[in-house]
């Protein structure tokens, strides 16, 4: 039986666009524009989409690193207690900050250059009640070993480490309070391919050892297939398709996902796939197109797409739930 750990309802994050001498708000960047999403305990949920579609912002909104403009983020504990996070006072967030953590994209800015690893990791531990220094050193040392690094590294400065090592230290930081859900924001994109594989393997190992749930953000659909249980595809701040990862590749419903998948390089030369090239850039999230936000670039667009916004509907493929938002899907909708 699948149980939720996090429920997002109509989450929106708008950033004001300011201009002019008086710094007036002239519009909004709709970075995340109405996302409904359930994340289940113990799963790896992939979140894919082009650059700028709001993946990072959604991840940050979950941790309240940016304040959602609208919507609800509900945390469900192991004992099924539900807590709505966005309405909590800052200080009441603390117990949930332990449960929700994040690993960042850029290994170069993710560690404080002025502190040793221990120096920058000890404050969070102190805050959450690990009062003796020996104990803090032990926790960090153990975690360093868990990510295949030496204990002694905790007394070194970030500039002494390679990108892959820094990323593993970032993982240590996310793990140090024993979280339940980790948002991995393109945790491996900045690394060499060979090191990517290493870090991914490590992440999966840690997931197994610590019963973690991952929200795995990526712009690269070739990685997600093997890692993720389910995948959500995002476009211009909205989720356009959400299904089991196998179904996404075999029974693609949304034209945008189709285009993304066709762009994955294939090693097998005999297997000819037609590559769908998307024309034009991602439209500005300040002025998203009317109707289906994807219609200016969609190879299948019809007249209805220009006027009516498709909603995320539930279908069934392969006996699994499969959500997609497109007018042209000829499968029976499931209520």
Ligand X SMILES: Nc1ncnc2c1ncn2[C@@H]1O[C@H](COP(=O)(O)OP(=O)(O)OP(=O)(O)O)[C@@H](O)[C@H]1O
Binding-site size, another protein (CB under 8 A): 33
> Which position among 105, 224, 257, 325 is part of the footprint of another protein (CB under 8 A)?
105
Q: Is 65 in the site for another protein (CB under 8 A)?
A: yes
Q: Is 170 in the site for another protein (CB under 8 A)?
A: yes
Residue closer to another protein, measured from CB, 26 or 65: 65
> Which position among 14, 294, 315, 323 is part of the footprint of ligand SF4 (CB under 6 A)?
294
Give the footprint of ligand X on this chain (CB under 6 A): 15, 29, 31, 49, 51-57, 219, 285
Q: How far is the CB of 89 from ligand SF4 (least distance, A)?
A: 41
Q: How far is the CB of 186 from ligand X (least distance, A)?
A: 6
Q: Is 305 in the site for ligand SF4 (CB under 6 A)?
A: yes
> Which position among 292, 317, 322, 323 is part of the footprint of ligand SF4 (CB under 6 A)?
292
Q: What is the 3-state secondary structure (H, E, C) of the chain?
A: CCCEEEEEEEEEEEEEEEECCCCEEEEEEEEEEEEEEEEECCCEEEEECCCCCCHHHHHHHHHCCCCCCEEEEEEECCCCCEEECCCCCHHHHHHHHHHEEEECCCCCCCCCCCCCHHHHHHHHHHHCCCCCHHHHHHHHHHHHHHCCCCHHHHHCCHHHCCHHHHHHHHHHHHHCCCCCEEEEECCCCCCCHHHHHHHHHHHHHHHHHHCCEEEEEECCHHHHHHHCCEEEEEECCEEEEEEEHHHHHHCCCCHHHHHHHHCCCCCCCCCCCCCCCCCCCCCCCCCCCCCCCCCCCCCCCCHHHHHCCCCCEEEEECCEEEEECCCCCCCCCCC
> Which position among 124, 163, 283, 296 is part of the footprint of another protein (CB under 8 A)?
124
Q: Which residues bind ligand SF4 (CB under 6 A)?
A: 254-255, 292, 294-295, 298, 300-301, 305, 310, 326-328
């Amino acid at each position: 039986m699948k149980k939720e750990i996090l429920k997002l309802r109509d989450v929106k994050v708008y950033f004001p666009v300011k201009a002019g001498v008086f710094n007036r708000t002239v519009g909004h960047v709709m970075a995340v524009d109405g996302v409904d999403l359930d994340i289940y305990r113990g799963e790896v949920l992939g979140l894919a989409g082009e650059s700028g579609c709001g993946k990072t912002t959604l991840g940050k909104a979950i941790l309240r690193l940016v304040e959602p403009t609208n919507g609800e983020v509900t945390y469900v504990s192991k004992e099924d207690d539900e807590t709505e996070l966005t309405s909590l006072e800052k200080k009441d967030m603390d117990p949930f900050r332990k449960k929700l953590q994040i690993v960042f994209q850029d290994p170069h800015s993710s560690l404080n250059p002025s502190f040793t690893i221990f120096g920058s990791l000890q404050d969070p531990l102190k805050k959450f009640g690990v009062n003796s220094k020996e104990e803090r050193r032990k926790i960090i040392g153990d975690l360093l070993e868990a990510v295949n690094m030496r204990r002694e590294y905790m007394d070194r400065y970030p500039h002494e480490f390679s990108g892959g090592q820094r990323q593993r230290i970032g993982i240590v930081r996310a793990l140090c309070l024993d979280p339940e859900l980790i948002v991995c924001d393109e945790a491996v994109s900045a690394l060499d391919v060979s090191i990517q594989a290493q870090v991914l393997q490590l992440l999966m190992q840690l997931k197994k050892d610590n019963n973690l749930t991952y929200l795995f953000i990526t712009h690269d659909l070739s990685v997600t297939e093997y890692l993720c249980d389910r995948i959500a595809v995002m476009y211009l701040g909205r989720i356009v398709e959400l299904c089991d990862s196998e179904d996404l590749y075999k029974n693609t419903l949304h034209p945008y996902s189709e285009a993304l998948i066709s762009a994955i390089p294939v090693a097998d030369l005999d297997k000819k796939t037609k590559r769908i090239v998307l024309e034009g850039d991602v439209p500005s999230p300040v002025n998203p197109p009317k109707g289906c936000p994807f219609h200016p670039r969609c190879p299948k667009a019809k007249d209805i797409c220009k006027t009516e916004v498709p909603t995320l509907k539930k279908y069934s493929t392969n006996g699994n739930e499969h959500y997609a938002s497109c007018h042209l899907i000829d499968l029976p909708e499931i209520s």
